Structure 1
């Protein structure tokens, strides 16, 4: 008989190993405290990066939720907040699915207009690039 536990195949194998490693570290009081600090710092860093990226086009909110998922490994409040977020996103998705195609297209268009406005504002006021005047100048010279 082998000393190694019999793990199932695939991703659940890694999940089981991670769970066992997590439980082993938490069994030691010093390890548990260190784990809380590491998870807290790592989750905080990921959330902070996500918050900085929210105004830009891209996955800002997804990164914030990823940081929340990291915190949820150790903190019950984060687990509850993550579940609340999942429930709201699922509810929004289900509501969108029930809407008429025209409503879904209008919501998508509003999202695109918002992203374009944020991108324009970011380029204009952060980098000093006026995309509209450059595009207009390009069109007039061709």
Structure 2
């Protein structure tokens, strides 16, 4: 029975590796294309971190760096205004793409999603979580009982 468990465990690791790397690569592509590239990279690293310790360390580093960058933008009033404006522009651009270029539906949805994510970072509760991640690098979601 342990041979079957070993094969199953290996198959799971390979599947996680394939899916995780594919999602990370999609995120890298979205850095140049319209869409939430950093968010998709983080999701890919979350998938990889379920099986690989190196991915967990990389995930912690990426989230800490992204949180630090977001915190710097949010520290000034002009940064918050630009973040809100860019979120609204992304949402508007996504709607325009969907309405006028229906064959580009995924790009339009990606733009809208990126805009909504940007606007969500302006919420006080999200800002507090981001600031905590930027300062400590500790994931407080593990403390939820």
Structure with greater proportional helix content: 2
Q: Which has the larger radius of gyration?
A: 1
Higher relative contact order (CA 8 A, sep 6+): 2
Question: TM-score, normalization: structure 2?
Answer: 0.48
Question: TM-score, normalization: structure 1?
Answer: 0.48
